[in-house]
Structure 1
Amino acid sequence: MEIQIIAFGIAKDILGNSQFTLELPSEATVSDLKVKLTEQFPEFAKLASLSVAVNTSYAKDDQPLQPEDEVAIIPPVSGG
């Protein structure tokens, strides 16, 4: 299945683009997505923590993904 990825902040820099599509097996979860991203982009593993939103709602690692889902990769934010 094809998933639309939107990346923000340092995640965008690591993934090389702010938007792209990624092919995942059917029955994939958010956790499977993270593994796939780490396989394709080894620097992705360096993100100590990040949030994932599926179709504008924050998602846990065990959430199943559906074809045509839009997934946002949101790295930790700091500032003052």
Structure 2
Amino acid sequence: MNIKILYFAALRDAVGRAEESFVLPSGVATVGDLRAFLADRGDKWDALAEGRNVRAARNQRMAGPTDPVGPGDEIAFFPPVTGG
């Protein structure tokens, strides 16, 4: 199953890329599973580790860790944003 992953702001800087196309391995069925899988890449990917303040969106709508990931989805990860 192919998906597109986007990284924004400081998270983009940390992982060194703005986006990637990705084939999900079996067992990765939710946004939380995906985040954990990416964080397990280690090194710079620790920016996505559990406990880090990271938000997610699925197909341009805010998503929680239990939201499913399906074929063709666009998943975005970004730090919280404040206005002022």
Q: Same fold, TM exceeding 0.5?
A: yes
Identify which range, 25-34 or 68-77, moves more after superposition.
Answer: 25-34
| Counterpart pick for 1:55 among 43, 53, 59 | 59
How many Å separate the matches in 1 of 2:78 and 2:64?
13
Please list, as runs of the form range in 1=range in 2, the aligned pairs for 1:36-55 lying within 5 A after superposition: 36-40=37-41, 41-45=45-49, 48-55=52-59
Percent sequence identity is 36
Give the TM-score, by structure 2 length: 0.79
Q: Which moved further from structure 2: 60-69 or 16-25?
A: 16-25
What's the counterpart of residue 23 of structure 1?
A: 23
How many residues get paired? 80
RMSD of equivalent CA atoms:
2.1
1:8 matches 2:12: no
TM-score normalised by structure 1 residue count = 0.82
Point out where structure 2 has 5 or more consecutive residues left out of the alignment.
Answer: none
